[in-house]
Amino acid sequence: MLVDSETLEEALTADLATLGDRLGDDAFAAGLYRALTRNAWAGPVGGHLVLSWAQAEALVNGLRARAGAGPLALAQTGGEGAVSDAVGGALGRMGWHHRPLNASGRGRFRRPPAG
């Protein structure tokens, strides 16, 4: 099943919105931004999503606004592509998995084997 990037981004945003107060934590939000960049993310709806630095920053700050937190300057602040245990675990529990992008900026994603 092919899923377009807009549908994937909406699904990811909806899942991330369930993190509630964690989105107001500046360190967690910065870690989320880093994880969303330079990685291809695949979720429970199929397909994979690759966000630019600006798209990831806008997504994180939009979620923070919903949670009542102010925006952060995140784009190109360093560590892009790093996935912390806290962020990776939160996304993993929601059914999202990542693969680093290759040097061309394209991600080839293969879902990990079940089990």
The pLDDT confidence band at residue 104, using thresholds 50, 70 and 90, is: low
- Contact in structure between 23 and 69 (CB atoms under 8 Å): yes
The two structure tokens encoding residue 58? 């806008």
pTM: 0.86
If one counts the domains in the chain, the total is: 1
Torsion 102-28-113-44 (CA) sign: negative
Which range has the worst mean pLDDT, 25-34, 84-93, 95-104? 95-104
Domain interval for residue 25: 5-99
Q: What is the pLDDT of residue 24?
A: 96
Examine residue 33 and state whether it is found in any structural domain, yes or no.
Answer: yes
Q: Is residue 106 part of a domain?
A: no
